[in-house]
Structure 1
Amino acid sequence: MENEKKDKVYKGVLVGLGAVLLVVAGMYFMEYRENKKYVAEITTEKLGLENELKLLSQDYDSLQTSNDTLNVQLKMEQEKITELLDRMRVFRNNSYAEINKYKRELGTLKGVLRDYIVQIDSLNTRNQLLTAENLKVKKQINWVKERNEKLQETSENMKEVISKASALDVVNLTCEPINKKGRTVKKISKTVKLKSSFTIQKNITAPTGVKEIFVRLTRPDEVVLGNPQNLLFDFENTKLVYSAKRDIDFEGDALEVAIFWDNDGSLISGEYKVDIFAEGNHIGSSKFLLK
């Protein structure tokens, strides 16, 4: 009888323990399932944050600016994104607190990105305005430059026209051999002088006053008949020897002029050339024969 009571007690204990085990097992299973769901949610959150960080990094990469200071700051923010990604990859603490911490850091980076976008848009707008202004100024400068060049060209043309208009000009230029009595001769042996005669035309635009007139006589062999002192005159940035010269007083009216060259024994037969110069200009030319 006593053994039966003991068996009943044992059975009751076993049943109670079984029930407890069932309850504990059920609680453990429910907790395990909840924990698994919790970890899965955190893992999903973590992967979502990593993807957002990668997209954010691409957004930073896409920003273009010519401002060196902004470029340095953008690079620093990209380094922060890389550092946050590295921390998340090794993150093992399945805690929403940690996830929320990363979310806050991500939110800060997004806010900074928005600020940079505003700054860069503003900077690009200013740069576009400056570029447009520079193009406008450049066009104005080019217009002024072209205008000045045209004015200078016009001025130079006017100077050239005035210079040509004020230059002396000769007509009826002849050169003939003469003897001691001033009569024209035909033979070189009787020639004492060569007389160059011409008329300076009327010119009211030419400055009046004393002017030097140079005669240059060239032999058939292109040797120039010189003056006794071998003096030179200026013509087109060089110096030339002349045969004879004379000072005249020009008042703007037509003027008859004669200039003589003394025969120094260097005459030869053939065709000669006579050129007249005044004030740096070649104002007349002709040819004549000596026999």
Structure 2
Amino acid sequence: MATETPEKDSNRKLLVVGLIIVLLSINGILIYMQQQKSQENEEQKEIIKVKNTELENQIKVYETLKADYERQSSELSAMGLTNDSLETRIAAINADLAQLRSFRNSSFTVADQRRFQQRAQNLELALRKKDEEVAKLQENNEELFTEVKGLKTTQNKLSDSITSLATNNKELEEKINLASKLDAQNISVTIINTKGKEKEDEEEEYKAKQVDRIKLTFRLGKNEVAPKENKEILMRLIEPDGSALYNLATGSGTFEFEGKEQFYTAKRDIIFDNTQQQVSFIYSKGTPFKTGKHLIEIYSDGFLIGTTSFMLK
């Protein structure tokens, strides 16, 4: 067996060394590439993490914007106002929020980020401008409320004054009406028989069957307060049984006294002239009078101004 020469042994060693160097270089390259891949993965993870953070921050910005716009809408509603453009913005924010939330399951690019940031800035600018308008409206409303409150206070005071004045006027009117009440004086009743002869009942009782008519005479007392004007004088002739004689054919009617409807027997219209003028009624019943005490009441302007009575047997 031949022995290797020193030259061949040296070449073999060089080849082995070279192979080892190549293997070490390849291994180094593989290690470097692996490190680069790991670094890229970490960078990609960091980019995704940053994008997710930016996405969540953007969602929070839009949620805040939505809450602020809804607050504005409530403030306007409280003042009785509506704003269609405001409702349109709220609807747009809701649509943007829905799209942003959909990016959680898809890619949220830098372009998307910039686009939504710009939209948010525009919405915030419009929000601040609208807040200034709402604040001005609220200030004006407060001033108007103060003015209205002052007007209501003045109105209430005026109403109280008017009520007080009306009460005083009513009381004064009642006093004037009472003071202007007419007074029937020197009242006398004359009985006219079937032959036309007159006889005052004070002399003696007259037989009822002989009475044809009743004549009532009186004077109106002087009254400086009562106006000189047309006056309506009513006469009630009340029979012994308490019923007032009433006949539409002879001019009878009804009137109100102390809240109750009453019958009157006859009526006269006169012009009161404050001269103690005489007023008379002549009444024919048309049927025989009843025996007993008859009562006569005289009314004017809602007042009982005189009474008298006579007897028939």
TM-score scaled by structure 1?
0.77
Deviation for aligned residue 1:225: 4.2
Match of 1:185 among 193, 198, 204: 204
Q: Which residue of 2 aligns with 1:276?
A: 298
Q: Which residue of 1 aligns with 2:161?
A: 147
Q: Relative to 1, partners in 2 of residues 1:217 and 1:161: Cα closer, same or farther, differing over 3 Å?
A: same
Contact 1:185 1:191 in 2 (8 A): no
Q: Gapped runs of 5+ residues in structure 1?
A: none
- The residue type equivalent to 1:275 in the other structure is E
- Equivalent position SS for 1:112: helix
**Alpha-carbon distance in 1 for matches of 2:247, 2:37:** 136
- Equivalent position SS for 2:143: helix
Contact 2:232 2:270 in 1 (8 A): yes
Q: CA RMSD in A?
A: 3.6
Q: Relative to 1, partners in 2 of residues 1:192 and 1:60: Cα closer, same or farther, differing over 3 Å?
A: closer
Aligned length in residues: 289
**Alpha-carbon distance in 2 for matches of 1:227, 1:57:** 87
Match of 1:19 among 21, 28, 38: 28
Deviation for aligned residue 1:241: 4.8
Deviation for aligned residue 1:203: 0.6
**Alpha-carbon distance in 1 for matches of 2:69, 2:20:** 72
Q: Which residue of 2 aligns with 1:69?
A: 83
Q: Relative to 1, partners in 2 of residues 1:210 and 1:138: Cα closer, same or farther, differing over 3 Å?
A: closer
- The residue type equivalent to 1:50 in the other structure is I
Q: Relative to 1, partners in 2 of residues 1:178 and 1:100: Cα closer, same or farther, differing over 3 Å?
A: closer
Q: Which residue of 1 aligns with 2:289?
A: 267
**Alpha-carbon distance in 2 for matches of 1:198, 1:35:** 126
- Equivalent position SS for 1:202: coil
Counting only pairs closer than 5 Å after superposition, residues 215-230 of structure 1 correspond to structure 2 as: 215-225=235-245, 230=250
TM-score scaled by structure 2?
0.73
Q: Which whole-Å deviations, capped at 9, do the CAs of 1:49-89 have from their partners, x for residues lacking one? A: 22333333333333322221165245335325424533543
Counting only pairs closer than 5 Å after superposition, residues 1-291 of structure 1 correspond to structure 2 as: 1=8, 3-63=12-72, 64=74, 65-66=76-77, 67-69=81-83, 71-93=86-108, 95-175=109-189, 177=191, 180=197, 182-183=199-200, 184-188=203-207, 189-191=209-211, 193-208=213-228, 213-225=233-245, 230-232=250-252, 235-236=255-256, 240-243=263-266, 250-255=272-277, 259-262=281-284, 264-278=286-300, 281-291=303-313
Q: Gapped runs of 5+ residues in structure 2?
A: 1-7
